[in-house]
Every structure is written in C-alpha cells, then in structure tokens.
Amino acid sequence: MAEFLMPQLGADMSVGKLLGWRKKVGDRVQRGDIIADVETDKADIEVEVFATGTIEKILVQPGEKVPVGTALAIISEEGPSPGAGPVPPSPSPEHAAPTIPSPAPLIPTAPAPPAGGPRVHISPVARKLAADLGINPARLSGTGPGGRITLEDVQHAAQARTAEAAPEEKIDRAARMRQAIATAMARSKREIPHYYLSTEIDMSRSLDWLTGENLKRSVEDRLVYGVLLLKAVALALRKVPELNALWIEGKATPRPDVHLGVAISLRDGGLVAPALHHADRRSLDELMRDFRDVVQRARAGSLRSSELSDPTITVTSLGEQGVETVFGVIYPPQVALVGFGKIAERPWSSEGQIVSRPVITATLSADHRVSDGHRGGLFLVAVNQLLQKPEEL
C-alpha cells in the first residue's frame, strides 16, 4: 500500500486545498500520472502520483484544506516502476501544520422572509431559483408587471454576486501569495548566512552568435539570449556542484541532477519558480521549448507538482524591467540563487583599447554553510567562460 500525500510545493507551503480528483476509486494509475488538482497560495497545481497501482480509497474530498503530508488517498501498489525513485517521506507530526477548516461556501442558504413582513411578488419559477442560489427575494427589485420579481431578475442578481466574488477571490489570492513569499524570504534571511558576489560579463560574442544563428531559423524557432544564460548556469554547476544542493535536516545534500528553478512573474502579481528539469543535459532548442512551455503554463495556472518541488537552484532575471543588478534571496531549502540584470552598453577594455560592449551583470547569492566566496567566484568565472563560447553550449 502507498499513501498519496498532500505535497509540499515549496518552503512557503504548509497547507493545500484539494480542488478535485481526476481519478476515482478503482482506477489504475501509473507513476507520473496527474490524479488531483490542488490550490496553494500561489497557484492551482496539477499533482502527480509517485506510485503505480490502483486507487483503493479516497481520504480527502474536494474543497477540504489539509496540512502538507496529509494522506489524500490510498493506492494498492503493483510494485515499483523501473527507475522509480523513493516516495518523499511525510513530515513528522511535530512539524505538521494545524488543520485549517474548510471555508464557508460562497452561497449561503437563503434566509426565510421575516414573519409578518410584506408579501414578495415573485413568480414560482423565480422563487425556486432564488432558493436554490441562496438569494433573498425581498432584497431584489422586480422588473415584471407591478414590480413582480422575474426569473431574469434572480439570474441577474446571481451574476452580479458571482462577479463581485471573483475580484474578492483574486485579491485574496494575491494577498496570500505575498504573505507566503514574505514568510519564506523572512525564514531564508533568518536562517541562511548569505554571501553575495557579482561580476560583469561581455555578451558581444554570445549576441553575435545568437544573431547569426537566428537568421538561419524560422521566427517560431528562434532563441532568446536568456536561454544562453540558463544553459551557462546549468553547465557551470558541474564545475562547482556544491551550489546544486538542498539543505535538509542540518546538512547539505548534493543533487545529482540540475533542475533550474526559473523565476516567473505572474500577471496578477507575485511569482513562481518552476523547474526546468535536467537543464545541463538539454540542448538550446529543447531548453527554449521547455522555457516557453513552463512560462505559458505558469501564467495559465497549470503547473505540475514536480515542477515546484524539484528545483535545485533558482535563476532570476530582471533585465526586461530595466534593472542592472539583482541580489536575490535564497529560496530554502536551496543553497544558491543566480541573478542577471539587463544588457547595457558599457566602456570595455579590449586589447589595449577602450571599446563599447554589451555587458550584463551576473550575481550569486549563496549559503555560507555550504560554500564560500572562493568557490562562488569560480562559479561566476565558469559562467563567464561558457558565454564566451556560445557555439559550445
């Protein structure tokens, strides 16, 4: 038997709300199948299963909020899939968040009309719809003959209430996201001894190569310079692997795979940092497709749970916003974050002459418990060297 647990989709998540099941009792599932949708403070997430078998019992119903690590369903296993990794352990009871009761439904039961009050002129079909929707007819203005409340009056009232509830929910989600991000960042600054490094990188070779390469491609297949930055970071982690690690239970745990978390701003505010899996082993074309796909799905609210739980390091860029330098805060349990600013024309010394070159500032925020300035410096040097040979990325 295996328990399908409420996943922890980032250090800032303590509870999740089950939105719905995509499978039912008796259905067969395979490792990697999406079987449930979960709401977090940041987004609605498609949750994958880590066992192969048959759903034997569903323990949590849609609409319920439960702590991370709570069993959502029981799966009768058929045996581990080839190459399957271990199922993440559930958190110990002392670290489990308290259960949060499900919110009251948005549509309350219609209150009974006051005894002895004025008689409400409403058609029978409109009265039934009002009762079903929890709308008090006494608060409506009828547009029918003699002020009679019609079916259309009730429908319009329901639409108005739904429209009002939607902005309130949108505002509430944005506020909860900001609070979740602030909680994680406060924890990071409190617990992680950060150190910061920066360097300037001449991007002329990368941009020249990119221009020539894109001339050979159709518009939809062209690359952006940000993909060169991502690939350079991923390859540089092979040379300084201690930065590709997670701090778990008081010690650094190196990760064998490079899963770059890419910071993506959301249209309604806030951000998420889903993983680009195996970024060091992906070609530039594959990385470009993965990047476009994850950006679109992040902003559409259709990320997978593994994309939020797997990042081993985060890369952030504020170049499009005109920012020249960004020193980020490490997202626990990661131990490093890489930042890039905008590309700007700067005076540059080359072969004894001062020339104008496109320059980008790369920064590293790293955990001093895991690495030091010397190793962090070697990492930034490696990023620089890789960007001077873009054809080899």
Q: Which residue has the tokens 């070159």?
A: 357
* Interval 8-50: pLDDT, tens: 887 768 888 999 999 999 999 999 999 999 988 777 889 999 8
> Could you give the CA distance from residue 181 to residue 185 in angstroms, rounded to a whole number?
6
- At residue 87 the predicted structure's pLDDT band, cuts being 50, 70 and 90, is very low
Residue 303, domain extent: 194-392
pLDDT for the residue numbered 268: 73
Percent of the chain with pLDDT over 70: 87
Region 363-390: mean pLDDT is: 97
Percent of the chain with pLDDT over 90: 60
Domains contained in the chain, number: 3
Residue 230 domain flag: yes
Structure tokens at 359: 């320059």
- At residue 165 the predicted structure's pLDDT band, cuts being 50, 70 and 90, is low
- Among residues 145, 162, 191, the one where a domain terminates is 191
Residue 329 and residue 254 share a domain: yes
Residue 29 has a CB neighbour count (10 Å cut-off) of 21
- At residue 164 the predicted structure's pLDDT band, cuts being 50, 70 and 90, is low
Residue 60 domain flag: yes
Residue 38 domain flag: yes
Residue 91 domain flag: no
Residue 174 domain flag: yes
Q: What is the pTM of this model?
A: 0.72
| Average pLDDT across the chain, whole number | 86
Residue 346 and residue 305 share a domain: yes
Residue 384 and residue 286 share a domain: yes
- Give the closest residue to 314 by CA, choosing from 365, 278, 270, 280: 365
Residue 149 and residue 214 share a domain: no
Residue 157 and residue 16 share a domain: no
- Among residues 149, 171, 191, the one where a domain terminates is 191
Given a cut of 80, whether residue 99 has pLDDT beyond it is: no
Answer for the pair 392, 367: CB distance below 8 angstroms, yes or no: no
Residue 104 domain flag: no
E-strand stretches of the chain: 2-5, 15-21, 28-29, 34-39, 44-48, 53-58, 65-67, 71-77, 194-202, 245-248, 251-254, 260-262, 264-265, 271-272, 275-276, 303-304, 313-317, 336-340, 344-350, 353-367
Residue 331 and residue 227 share a domain: yes
pLDDT for the residue numbered 59: 94
- At residue 168 the predicted structure's pLDDT band, cuts being 50, 70 and 90, is low
Region 332-361: mean pLDDT is: 95
pLDDT for the residue numbered 289: 97
Residue 50 sits in a domain whose CATH number is 2.40.50.100
Residue 348 domain flag: yes
The continuous run of DSSP H or E covering 379 comes out as: helix 373-387
Region 320-342: mean pLDDT is: 94
Residue 239 and residue 301 share a domain: yes
pLDDT for the residue numbered 181: 83
Q: Give the three-class secondary structure for 156.
A: helix
Given a cut of 50, whether residue 98 has pLDDT beyond it is: no
pLDDT for the residue numbered 108: 39
pLDDT for the residue numbered 117: 52
- At residue 349 the predicted structure's pLDDT band, cuts being 50, 70 and 90, is very high
Residue 275 and residue 227 share a domain: yes
> Could you give the CA distance from residue 173 to residue 167 in angstroms, rounded to a whole number?
10
pLDDT for the residue numbered 347: 94
> Could you give the CA distance from residue 315 to residue 49 in angstroms, rounded to a whole number?
27
- Among residues 171, 191, 211, the one where a domain terminates is 191
Residue 150 sits in a domain whose CATH number is 4.10.320.10
Handedness of CA 250, 252, 255, 260 (dihedral sign): positive
Residue 388 domain flag: yes
Region 271-298: mean pLDDT is: 95
Given a cut of 60, whether residue 116 has pLDDT beyond it is: no
Residue 297 and residue 208 share a domain: yes
> Could you give the CA distance from residue 291 to residue 272 in angstroms, rounded to a whole number?
13
User: Which tops the pLDDT comparison, 173 or 349?
Assistant: 349
Answer for the pair 260, 281: CB distance below 8 angstroms, yes or no: no
Residue 383 and residue 323 share a domain: yes
**Whats the size of the chain, residue-wise?**
393
Residue 135 and residue 61 share a domain: no
Residue 352: which region, alpha, beta or left (left: phi > 0; alpha: psi -120 to 50)?
A: left
Given a cut of 60, whether residue 100 has pLDDT beyond it is: no
Residue 298 and residue 263 share a domain: yes
